[in-house]
Structure 1
Amino acid sequence: MAKPVVADDLRLKDLGDALAAGWADFREHPVFGLFFAAIYVGVGLGLYFGVNSLGEVAWLIPIIAGFPIVAPFIAVGLYEVSRRRERHLPMEWKPILGALNGRGDEQIILMGGLVFVAFSFWVIIAHAISLIFLPNAGMGADIVTTLLSPAGLAMLGMGGVTGGLLAWGLFSVTVVSLPMLIDRDVDCITAIIASISMVRSNLFVMLVWGALVVIVLVIAMLPALIGLFIALPVLGHATWHLYRRAVHMP
């Protein structure tokens, strides 16, 4: 099996082109983007109201902060939509929903397990950090006042550094590997190696892309996650086009 060849000449213009192509995919087939975004938003709101009803601010903060980590896995169906549009294949729900099964070899399921473990690890670590700085944050605590206190700001600083490192690691592992597993008959280890290699070879551009994704998702989450109905599909489709620019199979 031929190994993927990753580009080492990505430019900022490529990010703009990917976003434009992502918007075009979403505009052409919005129902799929809205469907997958609704799943993401529904899970997010469920987590928020579930934890908030218990008054556990110490759990709420890491869950909200780490929720974007699982976005690439939710976007797998969007990669399939972009792939089918690119190849002029019919847009049918069955293969698009079945994209989680990849090419029938469960490689994407293994990647999903990795994402879930990473998210769980982040929640545990972030919860521990919040308990160190805010041991008394719980039922009845005002979250805004709590976060703006000296201890709250210290917690945000420590959590931001820790979460940023974890998020960057997961971003490096998944940004190319998940679209590749949709597109090519490769195993997840090969896809992960290609993804890390691509990020390393285009470090500045991928740092900009990673920062852009985080900023857009965070802003989209602010109005009760409503902005995610646009942001998530466009970013998902754009990631597919960035993958197509960055990875070639001989």
Structure 2
Amino acid sequence: MSDVPGESEAGPIRRDPIVRTIALSDIFEALALGLRDFQAAPLYGLFFGAIYALGGIGIVTAAFAFGIGWLPYPVAAGFALIGPFVAVGLYEVSRRREAGTPLSFASVLGVVYDQHRRELGWMAFVTLFVFLVWMYQVRMLLALFLGFKSFASLQEFLDVVLTTPEGLMFLAVGHVVGAVLSVVLFSLTVVAFPLLLDRDLDFITAMITSVRTVTTNPVPMLTWAAVVVALLALSILPGFLGLLLTLPVLGHTTWHLYRRLVAPPIA
């Protein structure tokens, strides 16, 4: 037996993060703290919000440029899936404010850049993979219900899916599949990104811990998921520009939720 506390003959004993139970009130308290972080450091929030918004605008613009008029709708619907990855810089801002560490763009962006050498890069791959699965299943459902018909514009696409039986079936099935993918990704990532930023863990442990927070707190976490979906949907409507304000608040709030959901490591 090893005489060193926390070690065995095989090496250090692995301790999985401890998941706490929270109440609905914790969601709204975390939202208030997230809003306070944004108000205290608005330039950082606007910077990362602009990156997210410009990414959406760029994808939609490219879709129209290449004559893929139907693409903006599924892109807007699935764009929220990659939000947790874009918000990594916001988690770092909240972490530094919490610790009383000075803020600077160089330090925050430096930490974000360093993540490509850590497990957080694998989490980004998981997020992007689910987004690609979403886009692939949209194309597959289009072929299944509407054939291989091409749409010259978004308006033509909406006219077909909103006024024909086949289009309505496409919408119904597509939204069910999208909801399932969203719940799966939400469960895998809701605290995984801030956890990997905060601790030296592997991304599998981070995803398992994230799922445990959802299964331990189903009502509060599904409420949080509904809040995220509603706010992002409203933000995307005005040409993605609402994300300039929504993403920072949601990002900072996610950090404070992580702090309430996952207990500090045992020394």
Structure 2-normalised TM-score? 0.88
Tell me the equivalent position of 2:157. 143
Contact 2:67 2:152 (8 Å CA) reproduced: yes
Pick one of 216, 232, 247 that aligns with 1:217. Answer: 232
Contact 1:6 1:198 (8 Å CA) reproduced: yes
1:212 Cα deviation after fit: 1.0
1:105 Cα deviation after fit: 4.4
Q: Distance in 2 between matches of 1:233 and 1:154?
A: 35
Tell me the equivalent position of 2:256. 241
Pick one of 37, 41, 44 that aligns with 2:56. Answer: 44
C-alpha distance after superposition, 1:107-163 (max 9, x if no partner) = 111111111111111101111112222332412562332231232222111111101
Q: Distance in 2 between matches of 1:191 and 1:11?
A: 22
Report the CA distance shift for 1:64/1:134 in structure 2 as closer, same or farther (over 3 A). Answer: farther
Tell me the equivalent position of 1:2. 15
Does 1:180 pair with 2:195? Answer: yes
Q: Distance in 1 between matches of 2:128 and 2:38?
A: 26
Q: For 1:146, give the aligned amino acid.
A: V
Q: Distance in 1 between matches of 2:61 and 2:211?
A: 36
Identity of aligned residues (%): 40
Contact 1:36 1:74 (8 Å CA) reproduced: yes
Contact 2:76 2:236 (8 Å CA) reproduced: no
Report the CA distance shift for 1:199/1:101 in structure 2 as closer, same or farther (over 3 A). Answer: farther
Runs of 4+ in 1 over 6 A off after TM superposition: none
Q: Distance in 1 between matches of 2:114 and 2:258?
A: 16
Q: For 1:205, give the aligned amino acid.
A: P
Tell me the equivalent position of 1:64. 76
Contact 1:62 1:127 (8 Å CA) reproduced: no
1:26 Cα deviation after fit: 0.2
Contact 1:70 1:115 (8 Å CA) reproduced: yes
Contact 1:100 1:108 (8 Å CA) reproduced: no
C-alpha distance after superposition, 1:51-105 (max 9, x if no partner) = 1223323433322211110000000000000000000001022231133356674
Q: Distance in 2 between matches of 1:103 and 1:242?
A: 21
Q: RMSD value over aligned CA atoms?
A: 1.6
Structure 1-normalised TM-score? 0.94
Superposition map of 1:149-228 within 5 A? 149-150=163-164, 151-228=166-243
Tell me the equivalent position of 1:97. 109
Q: Distance in 1 between matches of 2:222 and 2:230?
A: 12
Unpaired runs of 5+ residues, structure 1, are none
More deviation, 180-189/59-68? 59-68
Tell me the equivalent position of 1:19. 31
Higher CA-based Rg: 2
Q: For 1:43, give the aligned amino acid.
A: G
Corresponding residue SS for 1:57 = coil
Unpaired runs of 5+ residues, structure 2, are 1-13
More deviation, 197-206/102-111? 102-111
Contact 2:88 2:193 (8 Å CA) reproduced: yes
Aligned residues: 249
Q: Distance in 2 between matches of 1:221 and 1:104?
A: 28
